[in-house]
Structure 1
Amino acid sequence: MKNCIILLITLTLSLSQAFAQENVSIGPIAGVSFANFHGSASKTEVKPGLTIGAFYNYSSKKGFGFSGQILYTQLGAKILDKTNEINLNYVQVPLLFTYFFGQYGDRLRPKVFLGPSLNFLVSAKDINGNNINGDSNSRVYNVFDLGLTGGLGLNYELTRKIWLNFDVRYGLGLLDVTKDSNSNIQNRNFGINLGLSFPLGTYDKKSGRLRTR
């Protein structure tokens, strides 16, 4: 976990330098996630859950951008003919490369995005809220999951430099979420999210500094 956090910080700082962006904004995001498993899991059904968090956006006049997000997302699946649930609750850190269509200054900007997601397991519970992850000596689920997130959406300027952000996304887990060597189960989910971005400042290409408002 420590190495993953260090990697995340290093990658985020590197991307901040690499993208000489003019616009920087932050804001809250919330939505719904429709999750399930894929792999060797059998007879599981889609389970709805909550997504809530915050994001940090870069955007440029050329249309390219980057978004770093911190989300609390409820994944997992319904099991046993929908009579029970596996609720895997994660802190997710998607690092999304974005391309905006249209012209800089347009009030409506469609977008597409793709990038990795670092996912840290917070808890694993059944439908009644009981812990299903064992104790510290016998964990059932892995604490870390690496995923790939892609999607599309649009940003609409409500008023000067305050934007409504809407997106639909698909998340695909790349690692086995369990510690059972006889299984191979990955997360997957479809999400619908809505956010509100507020200007933070302007990134200066020459100095490499952020001029805040």
Structure 2
Amino acid sequence: MNHLKTLLIILIFGSFSVFAQRTKIELGIEGGPSIAFMQVRNNPSFNYYNPRIIGSGAFAFEYHFSNLISLRSALGYEVKGYQRPYQIYANGTDLGIATTYFQFDYVTLPILIRLNFGKKIRFFLNAGPYMSYLTAKKAHISEYEQYSGSALSGSVRDYNRFDFGFSGGLGIGIPINENWSVSLEARNNFGLLPLKTDNDGKIFTNSSNLLAGINYRLKPTDPERKSRLNKNSFSQENRITLGIEGGPNISTFLENKPYINNDQSNSAIQAEFSGSAGLTFQWNSRKHFSLRTGVTFQQNEYSFTTGSSSNVTLIGSYGKGTHRFDYLTLPVLARFTYGQKAHFFFNVGLYAGIPTRQTEKIEGTAYSPYSGGSTSPYVHTSNYVPDYNHTIDFGAVGGIGIGIPVMNHWEFSVEMRDNLGLVNVLAENYYKRTMRTNTLSVLIGVSYKLGFRDK
């Protein structure tokens, strides 16, 4: 029954979940080079997809059921792809064959059963399924830079964004001291869902990874120490905190110059309200210092006026539009806390935002001289926003807030936080425009502390 409860918690909180029996929990990071290639399994004679050497990295979590069996997961960023010959033409001239490099960026979550052998130096075997989500695609021709870009092989929408498959590997773990260890593993991810189906056949992903890792095993609970602590106080003696948080936000995108419509009118953007919600994990390292992370679904939105729309076949149109961007955001924060019961805190750190969806909506009036100068209302919606990258957003995070204990181990918090983007979200264009995200959020949270520190 205890094992069933543990599995449910792990599935809910993914690679950041923890369980009260802290001697069984191990956290870490892993990453390294990989050989990625594509397979056309229903057309073995088609062999134009040659392997590429790329890489991957992840935050790892492991729960030890016993010395022999453990459950391991990792939320990570994995790059897959291939290289193949490509015929280049320019202005009707055949420039010859060049090597084209294709790259597919994934967020990957494996769920693995690990078998461990040995006492100090331990050998292990991993096996289990993995799930991946495609966030971006790039194409590059080294010999002809001017022909590189997303247009070479279509957008992300042309591919299956979800990948699922089997993961297996073997490796070795070497202890450094009582809590720290390093590991080295060879792992293969074998895709079972086609990335794309075209005239060549069904294309599947496959990658072989060499993963170097460093891991920390949490210290055991001290029952005597636990009994001496006042369970009604919400002190930092508790090491691990799990929670949920969410609330409204306002997005003020920062641009270096406004976009000019076809009628030469200014299309300056205006901030709009959206929202965010997510799961949180906090490691309370010291009385006044913690490390905090989590997984958050965040929406950024702005509005604009338009003198015309390239997406609607109209003569002389004007109206108001909105662009909305959905992100899966991973912040990594240092939290400083002051106070005993009701306490104040401030966060500072970095975040990475993975785009999952874009939405464009334009409402307005169209004027057509071909129908006697009549006007008519129109509404245009699309799941694609032109001129925007499908790449990961990255930036700095800062916030201040207050935490109030509600009951034994539970806390209510309110925080004001700002995510300042450092990456240009616009694709390259002739106008040299840049735009960066900036989101101010009010986050209301509920959290629960597990266990007690062992001095």
TM-score band (shorter)?
A: 0.7 to 0.9
Q: Deviations over 1:186-212 (max 9, x none)?
A: 001111001111123559xxxxx9636
> Any conservation in 1 of the 2:103–2:139 contact (CA below 8 Å)?
yes
- Other-structure match for 1:12: 11
- Other-structure match for 1:36: 37
Q: Deviations over 1:100-142 (max 9, x none)?
A: 012xxx2211000101110100111112572256458xx2111
Q: Deviations over 1:39-98 (max 9, x none)?
A: 245311110111112100112434100111111111011111771112111111011110
Match of 1:88 among 104, 113, 117: 104
Task: Could you tell me which runs of 5 or more consecutive residues in structure 1 were left unpaired when the two chains were aligned.
Answer: 1-8, 204-208
- Other-structure match for 2:117: 101
CA distance in 2, matches of 1:23, 1:151: 22
Cα distance change of structure 1 residues 135 and 154 upon mapping to structure 2, 3 Å threshold: closer
Match of 1:45 among 37, 47, 50: 50
Match of 2:187 among 166, 169, 183: 169
> Any conservation in 2 of the 1:36–1:77 contact (CA below 8 Å)?
yes
- Other-structure match for 1:4: none
CA distance in 2, matches of 1:11, 1:157: 25
Letter of the aligned partner of 1:43 in structure 2? Y
> Any conservation in 1 of the 2:109–2:132 contact (CA below 8 Å)?
yes
- Computing the radius of gyration from Cα coordinates, the structure with the larger value is 2
SS in 1 for 2:150: coil
| TM-score, normalised by the number of residues in structure 1 | 0.79
CA distance in 2, matches of 1:170, 1:202: 33
Cα distance change of structure 1 residues 114 and 212 upon mapping to structure 2, 3 Å threshold: farther
- Other-structure match for 1:111: 124
The Cα RMSD (Å) is 3.0
Q: How does 1:64-213 map to 2 (within 5 A)?
A: 64-80=69-85, 83-102=99-118, 106-127=119-140, 130-131=149-150, 134-135=154-155, 139-178=157-196, 180=198, 183-200=201-218, 211=451, 213=453
CA distance in 2, matches of 1:152, 1:59: 17
Task: Could you tell me which runs of 5 or more consecutive residues in structure 2 were left unpaired when the two chains were aligned.
Answer: 1-7, 87-97, 142-147, 222-448
> Any conservation in 1 of the 2:23–2:217 contact (CA below 8 Å)?
no
Runs of 4 or more above 6 Å deviation: 14-17
Letter of the aligned partner of 1:27 in structure 2? G
Letter of the aligned partner of 1:116 in structure 2? P
Alignment: residue pair count: 194
- Other-structure match for 1:58: 63
> Any conservation in 2 of the 1:22–1:61 contact (CA below 8 Å)?
no
